[in-house]
Structure 1
Amino acid sequence: MNRRDPERSLSVPLRLLERGPITWSATVPAADLAEADDGDRLRIADVEVPSDSEVDVELTLELISGGLSAAGHITAGWRGPCARCWIPLDGQACANVREVFAATPREGEQYRLHPEHADLAPMVREAILLELPIEAIACPYPDPCPNHPPDLDQATDEHAHDDPAEQPDPRWAPLEALRRGQAESP
């Protein structure tokens, strides 16, 4: 049995699974995946899924012994700054999931299965957050980046010709002092 409805929620009535596995497709606003208690958005550092965007969910749901199995993929668009020039960049987070819902879930291993329905929202939220980039996003432009401020390029060029051996890193000064002290000792 296939269910396709762009307005579908992430709350699946278990009665729909009585005859066997189903494909559950839903497109939900990212704002619906915010944590209810603190209004936290789908965000990791400077990268976020915009609240006004949509999250697509395509899962195969099946009742199993002691719970529900959910397998499929979740897709959401994200926005974050370039690591070099800070222009906004867009990307796609795609998560493949295979999870179990149980009436008495094991902490960190399963999701809660309610008596009448399965709430897929916590699983979808976690899957998307795990797929967001947590490192600096590479600039899509080749060097030199057209969005990079010219005064920063000049500051870099001024020091590009300095000999690194002539200017030691000041963080190593305490170690260098220890070395000099040991060399002078009898």
Structure 2
Amino acid sequence: MPLRSIPDGQLEWSATVPASVLLGGESRETLRIADVEVPLDSDVCVAVMLELISGGLSVTGEVTATWTGPCARCWLPLDGEVKSAVREVFAAEPREGEQYALGPEYADLTPMVREAVLLELPIEAIPCPHPEPCPNLPAELTGPHDYPDTGRPAEPADPRWEALDALRGRLDAGE
């Protein structure tokens, strides 16, 4: 829809597009931060209010996408959803880093949507949704715990800590 035909200067607009559309025509890159990515065949939902303002267009709303990435403990695949609130200005002569370019007839929302998704992807280790202990975590990484529900025996104590364990035992006994 051409910008000049926005009724009363405001328009609610929504669309669902494949994530691959956000990459541009020839790019084979993915929407990725570290090990977390938005699958190219997943949907990205955009729901915004477009408002003509002096010298440009104001865009406010929300962008939603799904991501996949490995668990921080067991490396099994996890997925989640990002929701990003957007409030941006498009101008014919945009200030770099502050505004997006506005064409004479149309506003290309693609760069704004791509940046909104990338800025919300988790960049740190994704917490494991499994209960403690994670059933997929190797035994050598679980630590010296006794896990009766899993059938795994307690790890042997480190002999370097025997003196401290003896003191703890005496304190617990009230000595």
Deviation at 1:15, TM superposition (A): 2.8
SS of structure 1 residue aligned to 2:45: strand
Partner of 1:140: 129
- Structure 2 counterpart of 1:93, which letter? V
- Structure 2 counterpart of 1:59, which letter? V
Kindly indicate whether residue 110 of structure 2 is the aligned counterpart of residue 121 of structure 1: yes
Partner of 1:161: 158
Over 3 Å counting, the alpha-carbon distance change for 1:77 and 1:67 in structure 2 is: same
Structure 1: runs of 5+ lacking an equivalent: 1-11, 165-186
Over 3 Å counting, the alpha-carbon distance change for 1:159 and 1:49 in structure 2 is: farther
Kindly indicate whether residue 102 of structure 2 is the aligned counterpart of residue 105 of structure 1: no
Over 3 Å counting, the alpha-carbon distance change for 1:160 and 1:100 in structure 2 is: farther
- Structure 1 counterpart of 2:23, which letter? A
Deviation at 1:14, TM superposition (A): 1.1
What percentage of aligned pairs have identical amino acids?
63
- Structure 2 counterpart of 1:65, which letter? S
Partner of 1:93: 82
4+ residue segments displaced more than 2 Å: 35-40, 149-153, 156-164
Partner of 1:53: 42
Structure 2 distance, partners of 1:36, 1:133, is: 26
Tell me whether 136-145 or 113-122 shows the greater mean CA deviation.
Answer: 136-145
Partner of 2:11: 22
Kindly indicate whether residue 76 of structure 2 is the aligned counterpart of residue 79 of structure 1: no
Over 3 Å counting, the alpha-carbon distance change for 1:80 and 1:159 in structure 2 is: farther
SS of structure 1 residue aligned to 2:107: strand
Counting matched residue pairs gives: 152
- The RMSD of aligned alpha carbons is 2.1
Structure 2: runs of 5+ lacking an equivalent: 145-154, 162-175
Structure 2 distance, partners of 1:111, 1:32, is: 18
Deviation at 1:100, TM superposition (A): 0.1
SS of structure 2 residue aligned to 1:51: coil
Partner of 1:171: none
SS of structure 1 residue aligned to 2:126: coil
Structure 1 distance, partners of 2:127, 2:115, is: 24
TM-score of the aligned structures, taking structure 1 as reference length: 0.75
Which among 106, 125, 131 is matched to residue 120 of structure 2?
A: 131
